[in-house]
């Protein structure tokens, strides 16, 4: 007489979510939050770059050092925006080389 093991239903942790479904759900929420935060950072950097350009127009004319400093600051902000745009989005939920998740 062999005993048949019944398939154990996955434990529900939040209404209709299994543990795995909940992990996917929370990761999706985190990805949305990170994307929203990234957009907010880009908008703030672009706003600051516009402010720098406006302030450079008000700087005393003929002073080369100050105009170069304003240009460098504005360029730095624009480069930060480009770097953030090129950063990869959160696409993978596993195999992270940085945190070691499998």
Domain ranges of the chain: 15-86
Opening angle at CA 58, ends 56 and 63, nearest 5? 70
Cβ 94 vs Cβ 102: under 8 Å: yes
Nearest-angstrom CA–CA distance, 37 and 44: 11
Dig out the tokens for 31 from the structure: 């990805």
Task: Give the model confidence (pLDDT) of 85-98 as tens digits.
Answer: 887 776 555 555 66
Dig out the tokens for 30 from the structure: 């985190």
Q: Above 90 in pLDDT, residue 26?
A: no
Nearest-angstrom CA–CA distance, 79 and 92: 26
Sign, CA torsion 50/54/55/56 = positive
Please, which residues bridge with residue 12 across strands? 18
Task: Give the model confidence (pLDDT) of 27-83 as tens digits.
Answer: 888 888 888 888 999 999 999 988 888 887 776 666 656 777 888 888 899 999 998
Report if pTM > 0.75. Answer: no
Q: Residue 3: helix, strand or coil by DSSP?
A: coil
């Amino acid at each position: 007489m062999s005993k048949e093991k019944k398939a154990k239903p996955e434990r529900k942790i939040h209404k209709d979510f299994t543990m795995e479904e909940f992990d996917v759900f929370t990761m999706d929420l985190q990805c949305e939050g990170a994307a929203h935060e990234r957009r907010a950072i880009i908008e703030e950097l672009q706003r600051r770059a516009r402010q720098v350009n406006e302030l450079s127009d008000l700087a005393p004319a003929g002073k080369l050092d100050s105009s170069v400093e304003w240009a460098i600051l504005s360029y730095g902000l624009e480069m930060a925006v480009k770097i953030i745009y090129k950063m990869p989005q959160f696409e993978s939920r596993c195999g992270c080389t940085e945190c070691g998740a499998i």
